[in-house]
């Protein structure tokens, strides 16, 4: 599998390029293009697209809902849809909603790309880049919270279904309210997990010694350098082209 051969540092450079581009570029067509590129990169890393959609189905619906809400509450000169003279959807709002969804999708896809590497290898790659061990460990640990966040969201959905709530029969407006209500308990649960991890780290004297000995040593290969150079150069060219439009 290609993902197993590529050094995690190469994936970090690739993810940084994708997330930087999607945050800097404002042109709608180029933003959508970055979303397509991120999905293509995930596929090249060995990620199964259908399995990914099924796994993050609820998260994608939540991202889409938040994007729709933002598009409705963003005013603009050109109104696309209105009710009783009240503008509900403008051209600018629709554009902002699409860009918001694509940007969050790229960030989610970047986390999935990094998850194709063992978190221990990711930590070691950052350490060999002279990143302090504590920062490297926290960075790798944050990637582990993406599947935890997804699992918490799915558990909350299952709990509602066990109470007799059929999401297929609920109107879209009420369904949006339910998704919004689920965000708070999920965030609180994630914070609880983070507190438990912090307690476990302190009980094991994490960071008691200034120097550490590594058994695992990563070595960049020729194709790693090629991918990193190509990613940086193509990203610069892409941003430049977007700014020139």
How far apart CA 102 and CA 86 sit, in angstroms, is 27
Q: pLDDT for 208-222, tens place per residue?
A: 666 666 677 888 888
Torsions phi, psi of 89, nearest 5?
A: -145, 125
Q: What whole-number distance in Å separates Cα of residue 230 and Cα of residue 122? A: 21
CB-CB contact of 98 with 32 (8 Å): yes
Q: Which of 15, 173, 47, 28 is nearest to 100 (CA)?
A: 28
pLDDT tens digits for range 26-68: 888 999 999 999 989 888 888 777 776 776 676 777 777 777 7
User: What are the residues whose beta carbons fall under 8 Å from the beta carbon of 179, sequence distance 6 or more?
Assistant: 61, 62, 65
Domain locations in the chain as residue ranges: 1-117+219-245, 131-214
11-20, 91-100, 123-132, 200-209: which range is least confident on average? Answer: 200-209
d(CA 190, CA 183): 11
Structure tokens of 36? 């397509």
| Run of H or E residues at 90 | strand 86-90
């Amino acid at each position: 599998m290609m993902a197993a051969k590529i050094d995690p540092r190469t994936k970090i450079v690739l993810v940084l390029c994708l997330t930087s581009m999607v945050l800097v570029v404002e042109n709608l067509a180029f933003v959508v293009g970055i979303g397509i590129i991120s999905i293509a990169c995930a596929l090249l890393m060995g990620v199964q697209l259908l399995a990914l959609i099924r796994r993050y189905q609820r998260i994608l619906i939540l991202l889409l809902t938040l994007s729709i809400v933002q598009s409705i509450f963003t005013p603009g000169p050109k109104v696309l849809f209105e009710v009783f003279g009240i503008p509900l959807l403008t051209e600018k709002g629709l554009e902002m909603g699409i860009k918001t969804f694509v940007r969050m999708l790229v960030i989610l896809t970047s986390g999935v790309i990094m998850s194709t590497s063992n978190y221990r290898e990711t930590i070691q790659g950052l350490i060999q880049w002279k990143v302090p061990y504590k920062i490297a460990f926290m960075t790798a640990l944050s990637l582990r919270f993406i599947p935890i966040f997804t699992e918490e969201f799915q558990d909350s959905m299952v709990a509602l279904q066990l109470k007799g709530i059929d999401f297929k029969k609920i109107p879209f407006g009420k369904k949006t309210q339910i998704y919004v209500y689920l965000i708070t308990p999920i965030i609180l649960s994630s914070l609880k997990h983070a507190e438990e991890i912090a307690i476990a780290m302190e009980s094991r004297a994490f960071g008691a010694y200034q120097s550490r000995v590594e058994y695992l040593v990563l070595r960049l290969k020729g194709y790693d350098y090629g991918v990193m150079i190509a990613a940086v150069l193509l990203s610069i060219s892409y941003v430049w082209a977007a700014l020139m439009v």
